[in-house]
């Protein structure tokens, strides 16, 4: 007999899903028994952090990833992070351990009482196998569904005694199955749109996260160059899909209907590729488009196409749509826009100003770095620190905090050859701080830059609440990471000492933690995390360092 356990691992191996993220409890132990040596389990200390790591790993690799959560409470812990994954359309297979089948009815301890409904509406599908023998097929179904356009998370609940059951049916067929599921847009509407683009006087391109996710970075650049058209990034971006140092790059959309309408003024045809139309952040009455502006959206997501309040839409893979359009249009006879560069920052101010911090990063961070970003006060920082390559910028798509630090860990694991920089606010850092433990355990090469807004606020007046909201009790008490975690010291940033930040920007957790590649116990990892958590820790400087110059 082939056990469900062995059949499932064979299936996951065949699908290339051999890195798991998660945080187990007793319901999951039967799944993790006899853990095959060619699989890797990345342990997170909290489920939300585990899900965020898996999210970034899946987004960076473009392939579905398995996340193992503990029963109902573990799913609950991960739900905040799941909001981001759902919006990003990250292909995740989330499995959660259910109590033994015979204890579900009487709701024994650790029963997930309504497992299938718990993660809704944040998943594309939610399943529990009707019998142990159906568990491998349920997993296969979840993996194919997660990876099919529009991609997204899928949930599977598996009773703990199923893993020891008989897989029964021939699983060879399941292992062989491949699903190609990135439907191309129809040729006819693309050809019609190409004609409209050729006739347009002043077209505008807007790029959203789906473009980078579908591998459409180069296709987007090619279209912008052929049209010599300005390109903007969509609002509230989870990924950056267009090089922010390119001549055609002209900024990021505003967050209100009025601000966006103003940016579209004078453009007779707007193409929105791989983004909702539009994801405003604040309501303000008014027409969506200026007079004389037409809009066409390109998206793989029919629900998104249906939701848009204005414009036409062509549903299909956005990378393919961009390439099809570029192949059909004539080279435009107009001058390319000019990229407006921000003025150099004043680097002498103490405490260090946000724009000075960004200029240091721009000068020191290698061009092939990948960023995990969660720093609300710094706004559109990619206009100062250019993002120049595909799959280089990842942020919480829905704005749910707790993404930055764990996402950086996922990025580092996805491609250990790439430098990874995590740019986090001090508040955001609290939500995902346990990611540092996993980073140290796996010797992940990440530089964490944590920016305390105490100084940013003073310097910039950013994100102030309107006066009406400042009544007693309406402002949450200020938290300070250096007080909360005295031993995770970040004195350099707290003092705004740019020399410390600069020195720190050349180091990473792995470099500050000698011997971590050899593994090590939990205490050892924690000790090193304390040293390495912030890039500019004074004590870490006394540790032997491998030299690295950024
Ligand atoms: C899970 C979650 N809880 C609360 C919020 C609301 N929120 C948005 S920004 C923010 C503060 C973040 O602090 P920090 O990272 O220090 O950012 P900055 O100081 O740069 O604004 C909060 C609490 C959120 N987006 N997500
Ligand atoms: Mg802050």
Give, using CA atoms, the residue closest to atom 11 of ligand 1.
Answer: 427
The better pLDDT of the pair 175, 475 is held by 175
The chain-wide mean pLDDT, for the chain, equals 86
233 touches 240 (CB < 8 A): yes
Q: Which atom of ligand 1 is nearest to the CA of 476?
A: 23
Nearest C-alpha to atom 12 of ligand 1 is from which residue? 427
The active-site residue, picked from 5, 14, 28, 246, is: 28
| DSSP summary character for residue 166 | B
Beta strands 92-98 and 125-128: pairing type? unpaired
Query: How many angstroms separate the first and last alpha carbons of the chain?
Result: 56
- Structure-token pair, residue 200: 């347009």
Establish whether residue 433 lines the binding site of ligand 1, counting it when its CB lies within 6 angstroms of any ligand atom. Answer: no
Q: Is 70 a catalytic residue?
A: yes
Atom of ligand 1 nearest to the CA of 463: 21
Q: Do 354-463+478-525 and 4-176 fall under one CATH topology?
A: yes
Structure token pair of residue 542: 């006394």
With a 6 A CB cut-off, is 383 part of the ligand 1 pocket? no
pLDDT tens-digit readout, 15-24: 999 999 999 9
Position in ligand 1 atom list of the atom nearest CA 377: 20
Q: How far apart are CA 95 and CA 92, in angstroms?
A: 9
Closest CA to 183 of 299, 296, 16: 299
Rounded Cα distance, 294 and 269, in Å: 5
Q: How far apart are CA 39 and CA 30, in angstroms?
A: 16
Q: How far is CA 168 from the centre of its chain?
A: 38
Q: Within 13 A of 477's CA, how many CA atoms are on the CB side?
A: 3
Residue 425 Cβ contacting ligand 1 at under 6 Å: yes
Q: How far does the centroid of ligand 1 lie from the alpha carbon of residue 195, in Å? A: 45
Using the mean position of ligand 1's atoms as its centre, give its distance from the Cα of residue 431 in Å: 9
Return the closest-CA partner of residue 421 out of 401, 396, 395: 395
For domain 4-176, give the CATH superfamily. Thiamin diphosphate (ThDP)-binding fold, Pyr/PP domains (3.40.50.970)
Query: How much is the CA Rg of the chain, to the nearest whole Å?
Result: 24
Question: Is 418 a residue whose pLDDT tops 50?
Answer: yes
Instruction: Extract the tokens encoding 451.
Output: 């920016």
Q: What are the CA-CA distances from residue 396 to residues 33, 52, 61, 151 (Å)?
A: 33, 9, 17, 17
Length of the chain: 550
Within 353-445, strands assigned E span: 370-374, 393-395, 420-425
Residue 375 Cα: closest atom of ligand 1: 20
In CATH, what is the architecture of 354-463+478-525? 3-Layer(aba) Sandwich (3.40)
DSSP 34-76: T--TT-EEEE-SSHHHHHHHHHHHHHHH-S-EEEEE-HHHHHH
Q: Is the pLDDT of residue 375 over 80?
A: yes
**379: Cβ below 6 Å to ligand 1?**
no
pLDDT given for residue 452 in this prediction: 79
Q: Is the CB of 459 under 6 A from ligand 1?
A: no
Best of 83, 373, 374, 376 for a ligand 1 pocket test (most atoms within 8 Å of beta carbon):
376
Helix or strand holding residue 326 (H, E)? helix 318-328
Return d(Cα 361, Cα 25) in angstroms, integer.
40
Closest by CA to 7, choosing from 204, 165, 228, is 165
DSSP state of 253: -
Domain ranges of the chain: 4-176, 187-328, 354-463+478-525
In 200-301, alpha helices (H): 209-213, 217-227, 257-264
Task: Establish whether 28 is a catalytic residue.
Answer: yes
For residue range 145-204, list pLDDT tens digits in order: 999 999 999 999 999 999 999 998 788 899 999 999 999 999 999 999 999 999 999 999
Place of tokens 């909201």: 469
Find out whether 64 and 58 touch, Cβ atoms under 8 Å.
Answer: yes
Calpha distance 158→116 (Å, rounded): 10
pLDDT of residue 341: 86
Three-state SS at 233: strand
Q: Ligand 1: which atom is nearest the Cα of residue 426?
A: 16
Task: Determine the pLDDT at residue 533.
Answer: 36
325 burial (CB, 10 Å; 0-12 / 13-18 / 19+) is buried
The ligand whose atoms approach the alpha carbon of 403 most closely is: 1
CB 10 within 8 A of CB 171: yes
Which atom from ligand 1 is nearest to the alpha carbon of 431?
Answer: 1
Superfamily for domain range 187-328: TPP-binding domain (3.40.50.1220)
- Nearest ligand to the C-alpha atom of residue 429: 1
Beta strands in 359-491 (DSSP E): 370-374, 393-395, 420-425, 446-451
More confident residue, 304 or 468: 304
- The pLDDT tens digits of the residues spanning 276-335 come to 999 998 888 899 999 999 999 999 999 999 999 999 999 999 999 999 999 999 999 999
Q: Give pLDDT, residue 246.
A: 97
Indicate the pLDDT class of residue 92, thresholds 50, 70 and 90. Answer: very high
Buried-exposed string 221-254: b where 16+ CB fall within 10 A, e elsewhere: bbbbbbbbbbbbbbbbbbbbbbbbebbbbbebbb
At 213, the pLDDT band (50, 70, 90 cuts) reads very high
Residue 401, ligand 1, Cβ within 6 A: yes
Cβ–ligand 1 distance for 463 under 6 Å, the answer yes
Mutating to test ligand 1, I would choose from 51, 282, 428, 480 the residue with most ligand atoms within 8 A of its C-beta, which is: 428
Please give the distance, rounded to the nearest whole angstrom, from the Cα atom of residue 480 to the centre of ligand 1. Answer: 13
Under DSSP, is residue 312 helix (H, G, I), strand (E, B) or coil? strand
Residue 397 gets which letter from DSSP? T
User: Three-state SS string across 492-531, please?
Assistant: HHHCCCHHHHHHHCCCCHHHHCCCHHHCCCHHHHHHHHHH
pLDDT score recorded for residue 509: 44
CB 80 near ligand 1, within 6 Å? yes
Paired with 420 in beta bridges are 370, 446
Whether 47 is a known active-site residue: answer yes
pLDDT value, residue 380? 92
Phi and psi at residue 528, to the nearest 5°? -70, -35
Given a cut of 60, is residue 6 above it in pLDDT? yes
């Amino acid at each position: 007999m082939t056990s469900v356990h062995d059949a499932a691992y064979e299936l996951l191996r065949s699908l290339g899903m051999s890195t798991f993220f998660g945080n187990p409890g007793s319901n999951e132990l039967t799944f993790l028994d006899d853990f095959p040596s060619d699989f890797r389990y990345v342990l997170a200390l909290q489920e939300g952090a585990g899900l965020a790591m898996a999210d970034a790993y899946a987004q960076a690799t473009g392939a579905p990833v398995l996340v193992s959560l503990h029963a109902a409470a573990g799913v609950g812990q991960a739900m905040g992070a799941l909001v981001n994954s759902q919006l990003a359309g990250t292909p995740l297979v989330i499995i959660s351990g259910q109590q033994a089948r015979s204890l579900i009815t009487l709701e024994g301890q650790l029963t997930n009482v309504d497992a299938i409904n718990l993660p809704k509406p944040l998943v594309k599908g939610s399943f529990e196998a009707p019998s142990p023998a159906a568990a491998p097929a349920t997993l296969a179904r979840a993996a194919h569904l997660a990876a099919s356009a529009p991609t997204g998370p899928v949930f599977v609940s598996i009773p703990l005694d199923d893993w020891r059951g008989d897989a029964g049916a021939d699983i060879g067929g399941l292992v062989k199955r491949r699903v190609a599921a990135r439907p191309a847009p129809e040729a006819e509407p693309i050809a019609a749109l190409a004609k409209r683009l050729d006739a347009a006087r002043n077209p505008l391109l807007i790029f959203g996260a789906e473009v980078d996710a579908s591998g459409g970075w180069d296709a987007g650049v090619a279209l912008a160059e052929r049209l010599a058209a300005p390109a903007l990034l969509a609002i509230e971006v989870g990924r950056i899909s267009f090089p922010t140092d390119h001549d055609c790059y002209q900024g990021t959309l505003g967050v209100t209907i009025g601000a966006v309408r103003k940016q579209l003024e004078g453009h007779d045809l707007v193409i929105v590729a791989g983004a909702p139309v539009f994801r405003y952040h604040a309501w303000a009455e008014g027409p969506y488009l200026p007079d004389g502006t037409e809009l066409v959206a390109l998206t793989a997501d029919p629900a998104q196409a249906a939701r848009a309040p204005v414009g036409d839409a062509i549903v299909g893979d956005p990378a393919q749509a961009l390439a099809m359009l570029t192949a059909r249009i004539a080279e435009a006879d107009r001058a390319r826009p000019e990229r407006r560069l921000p003025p150099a920052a004043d680097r002498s101010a103490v405490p260090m100003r946000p724009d000075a911090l960004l200029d240091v990063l721009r000068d020191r961070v290698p061009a092939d770095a990948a960023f995990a970003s969660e720093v609300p006060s710094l706004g559109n920082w990619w206009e100062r620190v250019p993002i120049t390559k595909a799959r280089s910028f990842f942020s919480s798509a829905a704005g749910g905090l707790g993404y930055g630090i764990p996402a950086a860990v996922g990025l580092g694991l996805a491609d250990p050859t790439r430098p990874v920089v995590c740019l986090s606010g001090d508040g955001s850092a609290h939500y995902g701080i346990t990611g540092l433990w996993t980073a140290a355990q796996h010797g992940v090469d990440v530089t964490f830059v944590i920016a305390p807004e105490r100084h940013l606020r003073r310097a910039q007046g950013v994100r102030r609440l309107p006066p009406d909201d400042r009544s007693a009790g309406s402002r949450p008490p200020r938290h300070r990471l250096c007080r909360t975690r005295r031993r995770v010291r970040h004195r350099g940033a707290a003092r705004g000492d740019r020399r410390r930040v600069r020195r720190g920007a050349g180091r990473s957790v792995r470099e500050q933690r000698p011997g971590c590649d050899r593994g090590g116990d939990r205490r050892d990892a924690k000790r090193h995390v304390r040293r390495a958590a912030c890039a500019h820790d004074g004590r870490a400087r006394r540790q032997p360092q491998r030299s690295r110059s950024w």
